[in-house]
Amino acid sequence: LDVVNDDVLLHVFRFLHVPDVVAIRQTCKRLSVLSRVRLLWQTIVQEQIVSRGLPFINTIARPLSKMRQPELEARARRAYRLSLAWSTLSSTSSTSSLSQSYSPSSNVFDIRFLPGHDGRRFMTVSGGIWFHVSIWEINSGEGGDSSESGGGQAARKLVEWGPKGLVISALVLNDVEGTEATMAVSTNRDECVSFLLCLQSSEISCLRAASHQPMLLHGDLLVTSNDFSTTVIWNWKTGAHVTLQQPADDAGLWHDRCVQVLLTHQSVLVVRARSIHLFPLPSFLVASPAPISGVEPIISHSFGWINSIHVQVSVCGEQSSDDEHESGGGRKGDWPALTILCREEGADFWSAQAHQIQMYVLEPNPAFVSESTSTDSSTSSTSHTESPAANIPYLFPPLLTARASSKKGYSRCSQVILGQRGTAVWIQPRERSGMGLVGMAGGMTMGDGDGMGDDVAQVKGRPLWTNGKNDWTSVDYDEVNGRIALGTSGGRVVVMGI
């Protein structure tokens, strides 16, 4: 190796797997120094982690060029370990308990990981007659990431908020770091009102109130909705707002509870219990601050009778992190697909296998032409309006790509959680007693799935943990950090590492 220069060795190192690069530094001082070159780890992350769709943080919000070598290496090693854990997961695989916390006589109604804290901080909504919101932090060991140690230490409560008489009906966290509003909470005192809360080092303060239940908090944008047909997007600082309205014949007299709202490519996806609706991107989000009302959906779809649903913007196979996507996808069809996970009810009420976990994909529409593009190209505006598909950024109806079986039975928590890389977790009833936490690897790796002959993969869910007390009430999943948080009706909170 003495006759080989450093550039050649670094070029060779980029083709080694992550554990091999770490191991080679044990051979000699020169290789140890070369294995810590920042550019080497940026290349490894881009070529072996990000481009393959392995669990990694959003490189658009946080470019690789802004990360230092220790962070690049630590995140690459974690992503590689998680990919191996998912690909080799079996019914005998074990998970490590990172922390356990207790709130005696309190039911944990909701639990969420806080964005931007690498799975170390989480929030709980718990209480008996009255509710309170608590922020917890998992104490990391001296080595840094506690997920490597499989500790089991208690989490430390940072702050708690719960005015007397508080009853919480919904809560969302801000998915943009460094913004003033940390979360939005809706209460049911006199009527459903959403409060914006700001989390400081030792207190939570109320910023502003809005009507309906909060569904999304994205920077300065708050999205609220009712249980029928109305969704409101507003900038809580400027007061500009837009009302998204389903047609009256779609809403009817039936409850169609809003489950999720996503700001997608040049559009807004409203996910309800019985249907999904794609709306055009409100103009005030782009330029004009004037209020808008009565915006109707471009297209809608119904999955029928479903138990729960979760939609994610897929990042599998992401190719670039620094310069692309600045304009929201320059080429036609060059934006991420939407992945939808549904727990569907079966028509046979007596069947033990009545639940089906099904994964759908909304692919980008290559014929879509944005409003700005059609405005600039006045000569071709006539041809755009003649093609209805040119107004829809995604191809409808959603395409069924994978399915898994889930047993039917009593469960306090019917939620399914889908990660951006195609892995998912849910709680399913066991036969006769107890409940099991199940994980599915659908996009990152198909695991032991079998081809169905109709281009739909049959994916087998793998049990991760069993709860004999049958008291799980809430669950959250941090795919990037490989952590799962579980709350129980007895006030117990467990955070596990995959």
Report pLDDT digits (tens) over 319-365. 444 444 333 444 456 888 999 999 877 655 555 555 788 899 999 99
Q: What's the pLDDT band for 181 if we cut at 50, 70, 90?
A: confident
Residue 141 falls inside a structural domain: no
SS3 283: helix
Question: Per-residue pLDDT averaged across 24-34, rounded?
Answer: 92
Residue 383 falls inside a structural domain: no
Q: Is pLDDT at 290 greater than 50 in this prediction? A: yes
**pLDDT tens, position by position, 102-127:** 666 678 889 999 888 888 889 898 88
Tokens 């399914």 belong to residue: 416
Q: Is pLDDT at 420 greater than 50 in this prediction? A: yes
Residue 294 falls inside a structural domain: no
Residue 267 falls inside a structural domain: no
Q: What's the pLDDT band for 207 if we cut at 50, 70, 90?
A: low
Q: Is pLDDT at 377 greater than 50 in this prediction? A: no
Residue 369 falls inside a structural domain: no
Confidence (pLDDT) at 2:
78
Domain that holds residue 21: 6-86
Mean pLDDT of the chain: 77
**Which residue, 123, 230, 235, is CA-closest to 182?**
123
**pLDDT tens, position by position, 31-84:** 999 999 999 999 999 999 988 888 888 787 788 999 999 999 999 999 999 888
Q: Is pLDDT at 470 greater than 80 in this prediction? A: no
Q: Is pLDDT at 142 greater than 60 in this prediction? A: no
Strands (E), 221-303: 221-225, 230-235, 241-245, 258-264, 267-272, 276-280, 292-295, 299-301
Count of structural domains within the chain = 1
Q: What's the pLDDT band for 183 if we cut at 50, 70, 90?
A: confident
Confidence (pLDDT) at 286:
53
Residue 182 falls inside a structural domain: no
Least confident of 237-251, 345-359, 404-418: 345-359
Q: What is the CATH number of the domain that holds 22?
A: 1.20.1280
Q: Which of 155 and 141 is assigned the larger pLDDT?
A: 155
Percentage of the chain exceeding pLDDT 70: 71
Q: Is pLDDT at 450 greater than 90 in this prediction? A: no
Strands (E), 410-468: 416-418, 423-429, 435-441, 450-451, 457-458, 462-467
Residue 186 falls inside a structural domain: no
Residue 307 falls inside a structural domain: no
